[in-house]
Amino acid sequence: MILKLIAALTLGGSLAAEAQRMRAPVVHDPSTVVKERSDSWCFATGHGVSMLKQDGREWGFGGTVFPRGKWPAWHKEAVPENKGHLWAPDVIELGDRWCVYYSVSTFGKNTSAIGMASRKKLGPGTEKEPWEDHGMIISSKSGDRFNAIDPAVILDGRKLWMSFGSYWDGIMLIELDPKTGLRKDADEKPIRLADAQDIEAPFIHKEGSWYYLFVNWGKCCRGADSTYEIRVGRSRKITGPYEDREGNPMVSGGGTLVLGSEGRFIGPGHASILAKGSRQWLVHHYYDGEDRGLSKLRLVTLKWEDEWPVVED
């Protein structure tokens, strides 16, 4: 079943804009959209990690990973200033369970950690089957040259990878164990993939023989004053090096613009790709310039021209 929101966004013209205004849920840092049976799910920043569910009609609140006040004890130990507001999750199905990766941090600091929790099903049943937390995947502290937030996971053949990062020395990559979902080698130094003045929110997608690294440039979380925009580079190897369309290395500030602010759709960010058959959509949030700068979910058609991603409204 094609998502009703997606259908609305492919109508074109003012009708699509009106459909977007009416149906777009308020959400920040949406995860990859996944399906379980006939339902679609998306995770997002919120207390205890927010869950959104779409049953073929409209998106609605689908619960939280951690009930309010019942966050794992290690959160407070690793990031004392965090109050249970967990950021920028991503989700992937590994074997017979769903694994959700999330950020524990505070704004403007790199005393941060990425954790992972799992459950066999996404649907109702939290009381019978609560999410099991598996602890930290990686952490950072003052003095480190990376920030352990904004995880994005990708299963590439038999290997599982997680990109992450925000500001400092930019976007990093580590390998995970596909059986456990945890870090494969804690002593292995993260691989640096990209850097720019204001960079975060990575997402890696494989299309054909290329790996595409989507990132955000600019500042988020300022409503209609946000300057977020989505940039991309590509590489023949998941570990890089990534270059933009002009051949500029992403580790040196390269990045081709994919989607910037336009009209009411301000500061698009935190990209992922939803595929259904031969069609693809770029999933992201934006700040609604006609609705108090609220952060909302949006999907736009994604196509490939000369082996580079291009969005269509």
Q: Give catalytic status of residue 29 as yes or no.
A: yes
In our burial notation (b when 16+ CB lie closer than 10 A, e otherwise), range 20-50 reads beebbbbbbbbbbbbeeeeebbbbbbbebbb
Q: How many CB atoms lie within 10 A of CB 260?
A: 16
Secondary structure class of 214 (helix, strand, coil)? strand
**How far is 245 from 61, CA to CA, in rounded Å?**
39
**How far is 247 from 266, CA to CA, in rounded Å?**
28
Q: Nearest CA to 65 among 122, 106, 112? A: 122
Catalytic one among 29, 195, 229, 243?
A: 29
Q: Nearest CA to 50 among 99, 4, 89? A: 89
**For residues 207 and 304, is the Cβ–Cβ distance under 8 A?**
yes
Catalytic one among 90, 175, 195, 200?
A: 200
Q: Which residues have a catalytic role annotated?
A: 29, 200
